[in-house]
């Protein structure tokens, strides 16, 4: 039997796709504790770091567009974690800012990264290698 480029096990992209979903699934019990979905969690990460950001910049950080972000940001606003307000200098821009409640949530999220790492089944070196390869791909 010769090599078949269309066999699932010969794909690089499939384990990437499958791993990504499996890992997000592993986050769920931890994220449930703080009431966030994975996409909401990474959005909050950007805001924990930057405090303020517009939708376009946020989308560039997360590789997401307004079709995904607009409803998600409305939800985070309804939860009281962020505010949404048009910029006075340029009304096209929507300024997303973290609230006190949003800041406070960071305390509760603090332990999540470590708990996640410990259930990944990769050692230090492998994690570093994977991190490097994925980021190289992303820069393309």
Question: Which chain residues interact with DNA by CB under 7 A?
Answer: 17, 21-22, 24-25, 28, 37-40, 54-56, 59, 63-73, 75, 84, 89-94
Q: Which residues contact 61 (CB under 8 A, 6 or more apart)?
A: 46, 53
Task: Spell out, one character per residue from 1 to 40, where the chain touches a second copy: x when CB under 8 A holds, - when not.
Answer: ---xxxxx-xxxxxxxxxxxxxxx--x----------x--
What ranges in the chain are assigned the alpha helix state H?
A: 13-34, 38-50, 55-62, 66-78, 100-109, 112-117, 124-138
Q: How far is the CB of 130 from a second copy (least distance, A)?
A: 5
| 133 scored as a contact of a second copy (CB under 8 A) | yes
CB-CB contact of 47 with 96 (8 Å): yes
Task: Spell out, one character per residue from 73 to 112, where the chain touches a second copy: x when CB under 8 A holds, - when not.
Answer: ---------------------------------x--xx-x
Q: Which residues contact 83 (CB under 8 A, 6 or more apart)?
A: 77, 96, 97, 99
| Nearer to a second copy among residue 25 and residue 74 (C-beta) | 25
CB-CB contact of 130 with 138 (8 Å): no
Per CB under 8 A, residues contacting a second copy are: 4-8, 10-24, 27, 38, 42, 45-46, 48-49, 61-63, 106, 109-110, 112-114, 116-117, 119-122, 126-127, 129-131, 133-140
């Amino acid at each position: 039997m010769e090599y078949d480029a269309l066999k699932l096990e010969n794909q690089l992209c499939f384990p990437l796709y499958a791993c990504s979903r499996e890992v997000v699934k592993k986050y769920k019990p931890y994220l449930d504790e703080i009431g966030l979905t994975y996409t909401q969690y990474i959005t909050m990460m950007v805001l924990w770091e930057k405090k303020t950001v517009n939708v376009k910049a946020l989308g560039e950080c997360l590789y997401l567009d307004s079709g995904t972000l607009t409803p998600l940001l409305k939800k985070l606003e309804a939860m009281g974690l962020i505010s949404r307000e048009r910029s006075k200098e340029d009304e096209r821009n929507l300024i997303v800012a973290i609230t006190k409640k949003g800041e406070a949530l960071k305390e509760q999220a603090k332990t999540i990264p470590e708990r996640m790492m410990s259930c990944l089944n990769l050692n230090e070196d492998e994690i570093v290698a994977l991190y490097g390869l994925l980021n190289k791909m992303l820069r393309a």
